[in-house]
Chains A and B, each alone.
Chain A
Amino acid sequence: MTIKEIQKEIVDEFSMFDDWMERYEYMIELGKSLPLIEAQYKTDDNIIKGCQSKVWVHAELDTDKLVFTADSEAIITKGIIAILIRTFSKQSPKDILEAKTDFIDEIGLKEHLSPTRANGLVSMIKQLKMYAIAYQTQLK
């Protein structure tokens, strides 16, 4: 599936819910399926700056696709990073770099996009794209 297709799938899933509580509960559920980062990579170097709760992300290259794993102390944050990883993992660095992230707005999590928001969704997206830049250079 392309990033766009996965994002559409997520938007469809969230559209089933009527209120914010159900959406948040679903996000918490998604957090539980997050591909967890291995203990050896859960280091200070892999913490994403700008988040109020600690978020660790690791990226590995599988042939020409990037595979992300992550974890967070806070379960809402874990849900958010799980959604991002679901869209970006097993994709090429080029596709990740070109991908838009407007779907966050569509699933009713717009407030997390504000740069003042302490959870650092913006920092997470930036970090995932930084990995894509780094591995794209490596692939060349």
Chain B
Amino acid sequence: MTKTPLDIHTIRRDFPILNREVNGKPLVYLDNAATSQTPQQVIDVIVEYYSSYNANIHRGVHSLSQEATDAYEQARIKIQEHFNAAQSHEIIFSSGTTHSINLVANGFSSLLKKGDEILVSAMEHHSNIVPWQMLCERTGAVLRVIPMNDNGELVMEEYSKLLSPKTKLVFCNHVSNALGTVNPVEQIIEEAHKIGAAVLLDGAQAAPHIKADMQQLDVDFYTVSAHKMCGPTGVGILYGKEEWLNKLPPYQGGGEMIAEVTFEKTTYADLPHKFEAGTPNICGGIAFGAALDYMNAIGFEAIAKYEHELLEYATSALLKIEDLKIFGTAKEKTTVISFNIEGIHPYDIGVILDKLGIAVRTGHHCAQPIMDFFKIPGTVRASFSFYNTKEEVDVLVAGVKRAKTMLQ
């Protein structure tokens, strides 16, 4: 099968925002790891929802409610198929990755006891550290950290040593948001399962680049945010194996999640509704499905190939700048480049790049432990998507050079 290369210029026409100017310059949007842009096809789905079939779902007998329910449940099935989950009720809609992680952390508070251990990787986003710290405070379980090396790769020998019969849970991001490292998740899962521990992977940064297969990975929980993959903000999913989701108690009480309610006792609804209290982000869920359709039409293989080219092009162009250092040099990486220039604060570079119309992230990227590891206050992070071009990389490189001249 021959794959045609991506037609970037046609693809870019799908994203209206890419035509705008910032500070009088054409926008160069390189903050995709924070949030991706939305194609017209997804925007149309959102507009269509509110213009023609907005209704509350799952309980109305009227036509609009049924249309909305059908569209929402079809989106769940699209998501199931995309991530190859065994069953659609293993896909729980949430407000995003942070919500999904908190749902699992809360559920585990009834399953853990004092002295149990939770492993987290050294390169986690704060949203994947804080809920576990809170869980440990509640249960008396102990949080242990899988270390990383100078390239920003997990030290797998140390991971193996940390695993013990006390380990109940392992939490790790599939891809690091600050460094772009793709973690060896197959090995992490396999080793954890040998000792009977569950594994949650934070897939927020992986899902826009890698089509993860839940059954093949044999992962217990996986979390995704729609807004990082061409969908809207405020919606995401938790994938959980049926057996695990059945073990966890409900997270929030409310409508939708009940089977029967009396003042004496409430019985909970079956999966997935047990975890979906209240009126969900209906439009968001439907639009998430549309975003997956959009990305799948382009094809994840083609996306990965093109993004890899962009990463290599940008890495070598940036490294030609004197005194520039890249943090996160793992062999397996997505299109994230975190860098600093010696003697210049990342914030200063970010301000100058913004004046040039270039959007990057500066700061600690909600991953302070990583910054402490490298003994830096933060980095400049350029993160690319399949709609970025080599010309935009050139604009970035020229912008960084200009900032360097002004600031050094």
User: Which chain A residues have a beta carbon within 8 Å of chain B's beta carbons?
Assistant: 20-21, 24-25, 28, 52-54, 73-77, 118-119
Contacts and interface: CB of A to CB of B under 8 A. Distances in A.
A11 to B, nearest CB: 20
A77 B406 contact: no
A52 B347 contact: yes
B345 A20 contact: no
A74 B347 contact: yes
- Chain B interface size range: 10 to 19
A-B interface, 7 closest residue pairs, ranked by CB to CB distance from nearest: A74-B345, A74-B347, A53-B347, A52-B347, A74-B348, A76-B348, A73-B345
A118 B364 CA distance: 12
Most buried by B among A28, A54, A76, A119: A76
A25 B406 contact: yes
A120 to B, nearest CB: 10
A76 B355 contact: no
B377 A20 contact: no
Nearest to B351: A76
B2 interface: no
Contact of A52 (B23, B355, B363, B407): B363
B377 A75 contact: no
Contacts of A25: 406
Interface string B325-362: 00000000000000000001101100110010000001
Given A20-B355, A24-B351, A28-B407, 11 more contacts: A20-B23, A21-B355, A53-B348, A53-B377, A73-B377, A75-B344, A75-B348, A77-B347, A77-B348, A118-B363, A119-B351
A73 B351 CA distance: 14
Given A52-B378, A118-B363, A75 B345 contact: yes
A24 B345 contact: no
A113 to B, nearest CB: 14
A74 B377 CA distance: 11
Given A52-B362, A53-B377, A24 B347 contact: no
Contacts of B344: 75
Contacts of A53: 345, 347-348, 377
Contacts of B363: 52, 118
Most buried by A among B23, B344, B351, B352: B351
A76 B348 CA distance: 6
A137 B351 CA distance: 38
Contacts of A52: 347, 362-363, 378
Nearest to B406: A25
Nearest to B362: A52
Interface in B367-400: 377-378
A76 B23 contact: no
A139 to B, nearest CB: 36
Nearest to B407: A75
A28 B362 CA distance: 19
18 contacts: A20-B355, A21-B355, A24-B351, A24-B352, A24-B355, A24-B406, A52-B378, A53-B348, A73-B345, A73-B347, A74-B345, A74-B347, A75-B345, A76-B348, A76-B352, A77-B348, A118-B363, A119-B347
